[in-house]
Structure 1
């Protein structure tokens, strides 16, 4: 599938389900202490890294719940999402924060412009062959030493999601990946991986958090 095809499908799908998806994730962080703990560690890393506080990007922010949580942890967080309807929902739900439309495949941020970056389950629709490009953009926009936090589904293979979040039609592929594969991609992009946290290890639907940072040099 060409890049413009899967991007268009993803944008249209989340435009369609934006309100239903916001309802679905509204209590996600409140109900998942390990996700909150991961975000707290990320916030601590941002505060400790670089030459002072700076903006933090929540890429694939959806309805803005993670962006808002990062803000509550003292970070200057803003959100980017491919879906204009999702950005509208985020702006209505969190009127004091900044949300913009943008694609992680052509990340509309300047080089070395963010103190940290979170991509929470927003890489799951990106095809394998495009992931290295996306991670290259993540490294490019991070300041030297800036932390990166990725959350994703763990497993093998992909499924086509045709309905969700209120029964609305969708057309997105959901990709599950092994942490070691994502780690290899991060290292190839010039990011140093520090920590892996596996979630729901005894359940069929597993997740993982990977912490990485941009080093000062890249071969």
Structure 2
């Protein structure tokens, strides 16, 4: 089966920028107290449920997963970019990272107690998001939690340069309510959201959504 062109372009682009991306964002959480608060709430919910490990999907240089690890959450990372995986393994040799696409996760049904998708799903064209969210639902255990962070808006952006390198990827922005609807259609119920307006280092609003896969009634 031929790989969608957006996956090929996104992989190649993040391979190109991996080292510089890690240098810029690898310690970003230290200046993001609201994000740390959402990660802490997510970690508490996952620990309380005890349903399995957390997958950091689109993990990049691994800093989000590493932070969750310090909060007592068993976590591993998945990223489309082999170079990002290499960087993450060097930075955090005690954690597991491997290559994979969120459109077709190499994970068993109900294997995960939680999923973090931190600024990764916005690279997926809107028409492909139902496939991604269906994979999140499939791999989460009943009662498992999802924490999704992403840029929001109502436009499609296409980049040819990033972090001082040539790239070729898109950023497909949706309003928070539409993302919530798509999650609900996949069977994931949003219980909380944090919407942050543009500020220092952020050109656009961004949202953090906490969702759950309901247990069978």
Q: Fold-level match, TM-score > 0.5? A: yes
Distance 1:75 1:129, change over 3 A: same
For 1:97-146, what per-residue CA distance to the aligned partner results, in whole angstroms no more than 9, with x for missing partners? 00010000001111000110000010011000100000000010001101
Shift in Å, 1:4 = 1.6
Equivalent runs, 1:30-179 vs 2, <5 Å: 30-49=30-49, 52=50, 54-165=52-163, 167-179=164-176
Matched pairs, number: 214
Distance in 1 between residues matched to 2:57 and 2:30, nearest whole Å? 21
Unaligned runs of 5+ in 2: none
Shift in Å, 1:192 = 1.3
Partner of 1:190: 187
4+ aligned runs moved over 3 Å, structure 1: 201-204
Question: Are the equivalent residues in 1 in contact too, given 2:51–2:112 (CA < 8 A)?
Answer: no
Shift in Å, 1:193 = 1.1
| Residue range with higher mean Cα deviation, 155-164 or 197-206 | 197-206
TM-score, structure 2 normalization: 0.95
TM-score, structure 1 normalization: 0.94
Q: CA RMSD in A?
A: 1.5
Partner of 2:21: 21
Question: Are the equivalent residues in 1 in contact too, given 2:55–2:77 (CA < 8 A)?
Answer: yes
Unaligned runs of 5+ in 1: none
Shift in Å, 1:216 = 2.0
Question: Are the equivalent residues in 1 in contact too, given 2:26–2:63 (CA < 8 A)?
Answer: yes
